[in-house]
């Protein structure tokens, strides 16, 4: 009995942390990832465990039997095994509640976490105090026994944090990973159960091999993959157009047209092409190297290659699985494109290249990673720009709320002499461009109006010139590595959009 109990404590600790890691991926596919989502998840998991510890101590004193503990863990295993099958409906309902009741992603994720994980995690909280009560026969050895049990549980938790992230989720997917831990926990409970529980264990084994379908049901889904960083989805529309969608799916990160001669998308990516024209007398031959932070499926790289020729492009994308999808489904095979699978800040810290243009289009939807928004980050960018270099960033606003845009203008104005904004018509996107040299809208207009109207850049000029504005710092918020409340502002924008679409 002693060794079976230790195994159960170990598997229980492993499953409790595995549930937390899997929960983050399930929530990320619907609400994105941010400090707020992690706070909701970790806070609620701790609440469930606290309740479990409290109840476990009381129940252990009242019903100190191995059978009772194994029934508890078997129920936890069954409820864990049900999560993969009920999570799409519950999380979709939570998203609908966010839209209809006008609550934030933070509160909606709270709701989803409560409904999915309250029962199994609370029951797992019962295991350690219950096991301590069962294992303690001599009060003089209580300290040694409790230390050993908690060490075993914690060691299981360590494995429960690494196994899903490094192997199980990328290999089998998040829902299959939950089923695996459900089966393991049930198997560890069998020693204390009556034979009538064996059919339930057989059911859990059957659930393990049942087809699950996609993590989310979206139209025209062609490909999906759960990577270390994202839930990746590729859709293909009836006309053959492909779109890259990540996580909760509220934005398109790349687009691919069957007609490879089609360059312009009608989206904000087109605006990036105009950035070098802020420099007086600019010609395409003066663009020698481009850096892209947030390469995704390579839409920007494809556009610059088509318009400017085989200019050297360094594309930085943190997720290797997105790079793989870009090459397979988005034609990201340009020989002039050099791909680096790492974080944008880490790349800038290690490269010695100078760029005539740096384009930043990185999102952990709906949030821009905070480390790519700060004064220190733009100072790094400045150090890697040529004398006439330009940096362009994509961000967002609502109909009435431009706080995020203004914060970026304030931040970039501390590093660059000239900053400009472009509110893309018909969207909530704002392009912000900043130049190494003092420049002007007049120079941009003079350069672009010389281009024939029927050319690609002539069409871009027709898009950008009516909406370009000088950006002015207002003495307000400046993002720094120490303080960059990007998630808070973005959540407020989302609420504002829900209330005033």
pLDDT in tens, 133-157: 888 875 667 788 888 898 999 999 9
Q: In angstroms, rounded to a whole number, what is the distance separating the alpha carbons of residues 342 and 321?
A: 12
Residue 136 pLDDT: 80
489 pLDDT band, cuts 50/70/90, is: confident
Q: In angstroms, rounded to a whole number, what is the distance separating the alpha carbons of residues 271 and 430?
A: 10
Write the CA distances from 459 to 276, 325, 456, 493, integer angstroms. 16, 30, 5, 31
Q: In angstroms, rounded to a whole number, what is the distance separating the alpha carbons of residues 118 and 56?
A: 15
Among 314, 319, 361, 401, the one annotated catalytic:
361
Range 177-200 average pLDDT: 92
Alpha helices per DSSP H over 330-365: 344-350
pLDDT tens readout for residues 221-230 = 999 998 888 8
Q: In angstroms, rounded to a whole number, what is the distance separating the alpha carbons of residues 112 and 118?
A: 10
pLDDT tens readout for residues 408-439 = 999 999 999 999 999 999 888 999 999 999 99
Least confident range from 83-87, 211-215, 300-304, 319-323: namely 211-215
Q: In angstroms, rounded to a whole number, what is the distance separating the alpha carbons of residues 497 and 107?
A: 16
Q: In angstroms, rounded to a whole number, what is the distance separating the alpha carbons of residues 311 and 50?
A: 58
Question: For residue 52, which of 75, 81, 26 has the smallest C-alpha distance?
Answer: 75
pLDDT tens readout for residues 68-121 = 999 999 999 999 999 999 888 777 776 665 555 444 555 655 666 677 899 999
Query: What percent of the chain stands above pLDDT 90?
Result: 65
Question: For residue 177, which of 189, 192, 166 has the smallest C-alpha distance?
Answer: 166
Residue 169 pLDDT: 87
- Residue whose tokens read 């594309």: 315
Does the pLDDT at position 272 exceed 70? Answer: yes
298, 359 contact by CB (below 8 A):
no
Q: What does residue 254 show for φ and ψ, rounded to 5 degrees?
A: -155, 160
Least confident range from 15-24, 52-61, 86-95, 104-113: namely 104-113
- The mean of the pLDDT values for the chain is 89
Does the pLDDT at position 35 exceed 80? Answer: no
Task: Respond yes or no: is residue 239 known to be catalytic.
Answer: no
Residue 50 pLDDT: 95
- Residue whose tokens read 């031959």: 285
499 pLDDT band, cuts 50/70/90, is: low
Domains and CATH numbers, the chain: 2-209 (1.20.1250), 260-499 (3.40.50.150)
Residue 101 pLDDT: 45
Report the number of secondary-structure helices (H) and strands (E) in the chain: 18, 12
């Amino acid at each position: 009995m002693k060794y079976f109990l230790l195994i159960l404590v170990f598997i229980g600790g492993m499953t409790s942390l595995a549930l937390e890691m899997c929960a983050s991926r399930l929530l990320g596919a619907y609400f994105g990832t941010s400090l707020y989502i992690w706070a909701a998840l970790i806070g609620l998991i701790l609440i469930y465990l606290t309740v479990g510890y409290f109840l476990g101590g009381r129940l252990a004193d009242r019903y100190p039997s191995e059978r009772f503990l194994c029934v508890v863990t078997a129920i936890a295993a069954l409820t864990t095994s049900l999560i993969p099958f009920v999570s799409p409906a519950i999380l979709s309902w939570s998203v609908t509640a966010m839209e209809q009741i006008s609550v934030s992603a933070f509160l909606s994720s709270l709701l989803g976490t409560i409904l999915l994980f309250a029962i199994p995690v609370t029951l797992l909280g019962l295991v350690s105090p219950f096991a301590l009560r069962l294992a303690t026969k001599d009060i003089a050895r209580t300290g040694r026994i409790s230390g050993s049990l908690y060490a075993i549980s914690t060691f299981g938790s360590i494995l429960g944090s690494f196994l899903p992230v490094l192997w199980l989720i990328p290999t089998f997917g998040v829902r299959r990973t939950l089923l695996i831990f459900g089966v393991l926990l049930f198997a560890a409970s069998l020693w204390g159960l009556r034979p009538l529980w064996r059919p339930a264990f057989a059911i859990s084994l059957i659930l393990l091999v049942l087809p699950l379908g996609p993590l989310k049901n979206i139209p025209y889904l062609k490909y999906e993959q759960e990577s270390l960083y994202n839930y990746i989805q590729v859709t293909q529309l009836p006309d053959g157009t492909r779109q890259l969608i990540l996580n909760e799916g509220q934005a398109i990160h790349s687009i691919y047209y069957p007609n490879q001669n089609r360059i312009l998308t009608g989206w904000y990516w087109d605006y990036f092409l105009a950035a070098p024209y802020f420099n007086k007398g600019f010609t395409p031959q003066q663009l020698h190297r481009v850096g892209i932070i947030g390469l995704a499926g390579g839409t920007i790289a494809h556009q610059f290659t088509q318009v400017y020729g085989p200019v050297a492009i360094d594309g930085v994308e943190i997720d290797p699985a997105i790079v793989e999808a870009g090459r397979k489904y988005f034609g990201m095979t340009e020989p002039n494109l050099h791909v680096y699978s790492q974080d944008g800040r880490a790349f800038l810290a290690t490269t010695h290249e100078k760029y005539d243009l740096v384009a930043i289009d990185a999102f952990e939807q709906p949030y821009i990673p905070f480390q790519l928004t700060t004064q220190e980050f733009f100072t790094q960018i400045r150090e890697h720009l040529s004398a006439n270099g330009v940096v362009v960033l994509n961000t967002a606003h609502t109909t009435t709320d431009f706080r995020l845009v203004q914060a970026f203008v304030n931040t970039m104005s501390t590093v660059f002499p000239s900053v400009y904004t472009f509110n893309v018509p018909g969207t909530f996107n704002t392009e912000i461009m900043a130049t190494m040299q003092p420049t002007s809208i007049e120079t941009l207009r003079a350069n672009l109006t010389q281009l024939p109207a029927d050319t690609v850049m002539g069409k871009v000029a027709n898009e950008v010139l009516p909406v370009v504005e000088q950006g002015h710092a207002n003495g307000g918020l400046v993002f720094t590595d120490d303080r960059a409340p990007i998630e808070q502002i973005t959540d407020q924008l989302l609420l504002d959009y829900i209330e005033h679409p």
